[in-house]
Structure 1
């Protein structure tokens, strides 16, 4: 995906009203301190599956937004107050200083999860999930984020240093290999996306990455095609993929990412 084609990518129609209201509530709470609101994840990469995918949003605000405002924003966006039409909303708030700094840390002010299929949580100040998830999200935002409001994503969200990014991808693939809390087909497709990025430097939709990987690695083609079919099923279900084959593929993917990380000194 080109770094220059943001204007040609659009938000799926099922999400437009919801995301417009998310932007309105962010601006109402954060006021003139709102710098940018950016869609990332499957929405940005053109692979959103309604009923299956989460909605990933990054919010950039001026430094110094008080914790009380963050808690107010979490309440305004909670599923009970603003029903999420997707599987869930994963929204991360960054200060503009942290968002604009190339970093391998988590660095957020608030990490909010809410929605019909996500456990409700609002972590303030970096005390939540492992940092590597946020590093990968910022890398995607920098290269492929869709600006919903405010300053363009590429201008306000820095890409992580290459060594830090490849280290984060290595950790992400390792977590998917462990399997806890992740659907099997999504684990496989995420591994494909990491491998394609390491080989090409492009962020691609997971299904596109699976097709590219299957073409290059015929031994894995049956598994990857089955993972794509599972991802395309309605609802948040998972294809019944052979556990041994999933493990073997993710071990192989992890080795490819580790090679890329080693090449960048990590």
Structure 2
């Protein structure tokens, strides 16, 4: 692991323990760090904290104050941190269920949500169940027992529903106009690849690895190769290409392909 990232994660856990004390029962790196695909200068840092029980508003606000970028500078684009009650983490619920959520960093807008009810529906409520599914498989323990013993996976029906919701959310976003490469469309395509691999093969992979897996098994979608190449400096797909691929993946997961 990158030394700056390791130092940051160590400091983050120490700060969380200062706030929560013995109520902090686990801390886990998720996302690209958990999946072994962290890319300095590009990736976010995703972390899940697990508390022994529900947090008070005072504890939530103290966590935010100690962990936001201004207090603990994040070496990446930003930190996306979510804290869960241990019972929620173990429940396998598809609902958001978090105690507090923080987005903070030099390259992302600050966001603090202290209650799932305050999460705007338009921003998507599917992220959390999917993230906990990834944590169940690949969460990297920073503190506490193995992630698979702390986070329950989703049921197959809930997983399928949330994957469809996620792709529908993406498809509802404005499509970049024109026939020129569009920033961010490589991420849109590779995120869809990850969803499709999870649906077909029952495994979460990092985005580029998921795209390569589809290519290796004979998926001839040119847009996948273009999206992978964009991670190494090539032009990303156009908006129309990305949305068409996402629609294809959504239809397959929803059972409408062919």
| TM-score w.r.t. length of structure 2 | 0.89
Change (3 A) 1:174 1:72: same
1:132 matches 2:135? no
8 Å contact kept, 2:184–2:236: no
Counterpart Cα distance in 1 of 2:154 and 2:130: 8
Return the offset for 1:130: 2.5
Counterpart Cα distance in 2 of 1:112 and 1:180: 26
Q: What's the RMSD between the two structures over aligned residues?
A: 1.8
Counterpart among 111, 118, 124 of residue 121 in structure 1: 111
1:75 matches 2:69? no
Counterpart Cα distance in 2 of 1:76 and 1:180: 36
Counterpart Cα distance in 1 of 2:189 and 2:98: 28
Count of residues paired in the alignment:
245
Return the offset for 1:240: 3.6
Counterpart Cα distance in 2 of 1:40 and 1:249: 26
Which residue in 1 is equivalent to 2:215? 214
1:94 matches 2:84? yes
1:244 matches 2:245? no
Change (3 A) 1:145 1:202: same
What whole-Å deviation, never above 9, does each CA across 1:160-185 have from its counterpart, x for those lacking one? 22211111111112222334598211
Structure with higher RCO (Cα < 8 A, 6+ apart): 1
Aligned ranges for residues 39-58 of structure 1 at < 5 Å?
39-58=29-48
Which residue in 2 is equivalent to 1:28? 18
Residues 173-182 or 139-148, more deviating? 173-182
3-state SS, counterpart of residue 120 of structure 1: strand
Return the offset for 1:232: 3.2
| TM-score w.r.t. length of structure 1 | 0.87
Return the offset for 1:239: 3.7
Residues 140-149 or 160-169, more deviating? 160-169
Give unpaired runs (5+ residues) of structure 1: 1-10, 261-266
Give unpaired runs (5+ residues) of structure 2: 176-182
1:253 matches 2:257? no
